[in-house]
């Protein structure tokens, strides 16, 4: 499995929705439960966030490669988990 980094902000409604989909997908697919996901609030950890190139949250990196930026859907989150699982 490949590690996932997710950039969020506390006030972002799209981040909250994505986090909910992540939990739902993990419940439906127990094999995804062991995917290492590091969630970074860009406002609380700006030094880490500045090391990455993105403009919108939520943003996902899988194994150091940006795979999605901005508004997500359940399908997009599932695709991110599939990339991490391979």
DSSP H or E segment with residue 6: strand 4-8
DSSP H or E segment with residue 59: strand 59-62
The answer to whether residue 81 sits within a structural domain is: yes
Three-state secondary structure call for residue 60: strand
Report pTM.
0.94
The answer to whether residue 64 sits within a structural domain is: yes
Q: Find how far residue 17's CA is from the centre of its chain.
A: 11
Query: Which pLDDT does position 86 carry in this prediction?
Result: 84
| N- to C-terminal Cα separation, the chain | 6
Grouped pLDDT means (10 residues each) for the chain, 86 residues = 96 97 94 94 97 97 97 95 93
The answer to whether residue 4 sits within a structural domain is: no
The answer to whether residue 38 sits within a structural domain is: yes
Query: Which pLDDT does position 61 carry in this prediction?
Result: 98
Task: Say which DSSP state 48 is in.
Answer: H
Angle of CA points 74, 79, 81, to nearest 5°: 95
Domain ranges, residue 61: 15-85
């Amino acid at each position: 499995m490949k590690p996932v980094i997710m950039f969020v902000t506390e006030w972002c409604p799209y981040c909250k929705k994505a986090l909910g989909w992540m939990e739902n997908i993990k419940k439906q697919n127990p094999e995804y439960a062991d995917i290492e996901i590091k969630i970074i609030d860009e406002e609380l950890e700006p030094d880490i966030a500045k090391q990455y190139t993105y403009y919108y949250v939520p943003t996902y990196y899988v194994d150091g490669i940006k795979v999605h930026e901005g508004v997500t859907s359940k399908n997009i989150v599932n695709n991110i988990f599939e990339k991490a699982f391979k």
